[in-house]
Structure 1
């Protein structure tokens, strides 16, 4: 979140300002125009595309409708792009074929441009997180959970605010992920800014992989990058007596600790702030690092993108020093990066070998999320071929 940055505008002949909040690291907008219910969607879209932010002064629910109208416009191909598309179809055989990495970078650029336009609709908030607009919802608890205590009025994009509200609902109601031995669902409560375990196939890998024999003599495991704490919960449910779960992100640490306490597993699981590994050694070390070696464009993307595979390589290079004899490291990793041309299988195997490790085996599964079956997705060629694996690693 941007700190100590002001957003300024003129209103009623006076200069006004407020703190600027952005989880995406976007700088405070310089061009501000007041907007209300009289502004048309076409005008709002034109201004947003030109880089003018719209500070909303009308009905809150109308602002939500305007945002939906902006989404329809930004996602609708223009007549010019359709003409260019027809031309490109005719000359496709003459133009050089784009690589998977080119297609990924193009997709990321389009996502960034889309987010920039949709982030131009702004909502003013009071120091106590209330919103002084007609039909505004009560967002005090949701914003307090996401941002903590504030003492100054602030401005936030409506799109981000709706994300905060949505995250609050997930946190309140929880997310069923698996069932325990009695058939009752295991529910975790994701916090805002903490990666939600919505892809259950990788959780099933951790449930089904054979536990290393080293746990019989020393039942201790490490969970590296704890997130919501779901992997620690699974290990505890599988009978591991002591689990040390680490993370550097404060939101993740709080989220995991609350989930573990709610499930009455705090006698088995200790949550600790650490850069990857805690002190000591374990019979089992589990890590589910971000799967794509690219630069995140926002704080919320750190769970997905790992620049230059820093976390992955850091885990591998230090794993040997934290494994007990006959212990195992479980690396949970998708091969999506390989299909996108961002990393090769040989690179991964070379890093494993250079770390003094060996592959004891791996268990694979195919994705079940909707994008893997959506042929209209720009990255369908990679998502449909994706495999998620649990790599069992031991000391070589």
Structure 2
């Protein structure tokens, strides 16, 4: 147990310490007090804002209601003078991320004790053992503590894993595991389903496969062999399960790799995270790519892995450009530096609900957003 972070508190005159569980790697609260059903929402909110963890010993359903009350207080407009309007889209993005981070820290202060078998020994507590098993792996018999908000995320992931997401262009469902981003935005799948395949595409690489949805779609389009890569163990297990269930196991091989597998292919597809920023949880690695590491790595290595006459499909939103996190000139310069030329760019407007949400701090950028496939090829296509 000493290899894990510990959370400590005093209860009944005794100092206690157990394993701290946090999927996003946040440290445990430095100060922890025991709380129960007698705690008022105002007091709970004040303590949470101060960074005090509230170790819950009351009714589980009451804890859920208390968390909702804390969230309402966190979302209230401040009484003090309004923060100045952001001077640029980048400022708006940074303020949005900062506010989300502060809100998350506050809501994560309500803590739930977990038994060594992933049971919750609180009144009216649900059975979370399967959800914990999917997220944490097999229980080790050691008691632990996690935030209620994290446990709610585990429950939600478990339910989504069972239900799955209907993918129209596949005619089936994709089931995302905990910590693997679900393909809830369908416009990029529509692009991949309709883009013209290079001639004689017998093999394709799907770089950063995640749930395996693009690999399955390429197989459905008739490509006889697809190699799907990822380096996240959860994504690899998720992709293999989806590919097997969808009936593409003979066509699709899921392998562990940092970007490219060995060899070359006539088609290489990559849908990297779209925003160059630091993720705050494992799930956000599908959205935020620090310093555009994956994007730059794909562009830089693409030419060496393309067969002569082959294409690389870069699936990318331009929202980073509208926010001011990356310019179009920077992207085109990266293509040129890697010896790549643009054959075509096929674009579509997203239709997810946030596009129409005028209260979204990033609404101005979302209203302009396009998702595109950049069809790339080597400038020196005749060279090995």
TM-score, scaled relative to structure 1: 0.93
Aligned to 1:124: 113
Aligned to 1:84: 82
Aligned to 1:202: 188
Deviation at 1:71, TM superposition (A): 0.9
Deviation at 1:301, TM superposition (A): 1.2
Aligned to 1:295: 278
Aligned to 1:239: 222
* Among 150, 160, 164, the residue aligned to 1:160: 150
Aligned to 2:89: 100
The answer (yes or no) to whether the contact 1:220–1:242 under 8 Å persists in 2 is yes
* Among 167, 191, 196, the residue aligned to 1:177: 167
Gaps of 5+ in 1: none
Deviation at 1:214, TM superposition (A): 3.7
Deviation at 1:347, TM superposition (A): 0.5
The whole-number CA distance in structure 2 between the counterparts of 1:3 and 1:102 is 39
Aligned to 2:66: 66
Give the 3 Å change call, closer, same or farther, for CA 235–359 of structure 1 in structure 2.
Answer: same
Deviation at 1:3, TM superposition (A): 5.5
Aligned to 2:350: 367
Deviation at 1:262, TM superposition (A): 0.6
Deviation at 1:150, TM superposition (A): 2.5
Deviation at 1:127, TM superposition (A): 1.1
TM-score, scaled relative to structure 2: 0.96
The whole-number CA distance in structure 2 between the counterparts of 1:299 and 1:173 is 21
Could you give the per-residue CA deviations for residues 356-396 of structure 1, whole angstroms, max 9, x where no partner exists? 11100011011111111100011101011111001100111
Deviation at 1:319, TM superposition (A): 0.5
The whole-number CA distance in structure 1 between the counterparts of 2:341 and 2:34 is 61
The whole-number CA distance in structure 1 between the counterparts of 2:169 and 2:299 is 31
The whole-number CA distance in structure 1 between the counterparts of 2:213 and 2:283 is 18
Deviation at 1:179, TM superposition (A): 4.2
The whole-number CA distance in structure 2 between the counterparts of 1:41 and 1:247 is 43
Divergent runs of 4+, >6 A: none
- SS of 2:82's equivalent in the other structure is helix
The whole-number CA distance in structure 1 between the counterparts of 2:169 and 2:365 is 30
Deviation at 1:295, TM superposition (A): 1.3
The answer (yes or no) to whether the contact 1:225–1:245 under 8 Å persists in 2 is yes
Aligned to 2:382: none
The answer (yes or no) to whether the contact 1:220–1:284 under 8 Å persists in 2 is yes
Gaps of 5+ in 2: 380-384
The answer (yes or no) to whether the contact 1:214–1:324 under 8 Å persists in 2 is no
Of residues 295-304 and 19-28 in structure 1, the stretch that sits farther from structure 2 once superposed is 295-304
Deviation at 1:170, TM superposition (A): 0.8
The answer (yes or no) to whether the contact 1:236–1:268 under 8 Å persists in 2 is yes
The whole-number CA distance in structure 1 between the counterparts of 2:284 and 2:12 is 39
- SS of 1:301's equivalent in the other structure is helix
Query: What does 1:378-389 align with in structure 2 at a 5 Å threshold?
Result: 378-389=361-372
Deviation at 1:342, TM superposition (A): 0.5
* Among 181, 187, 192, the residue aligned to 2:173: 187
The whole-number CA distance in structure 2 between the counterparts of 1:325 and 1:249 is 30
The answer (yes or no) to whether the contact 1:214–1:325 under 8 Å persists in 2 is no
The answer (yes or no) to whether the contact 2:169–2:193 under 8 Å persists in 1 is no
Aligned to 1:32: 32
Could you give the per-residue CA deviations for residues 67-93 of structure 1, whole angstroms, max 9, x where no partner exists? 11111110111222xx436xx5xxx7x
Query: What does 1:125-144 align with in structure 2 at a 5 Å threshold?
Result: 125-144=114-133
Give the 3 Å change call, closer, same or farther, for CA 102–26 of structure 1 in structure 2.
Answer: same
The whole-number CA distance in structure 1 between the counterparts of 2:323 and 2:169 is 34
- SS of 1:84's equivalent in the other structure is coil
Query: What does 1:240-259 align with in structure 2 at a 5 Å threshold?
Result: 240-259=223-242
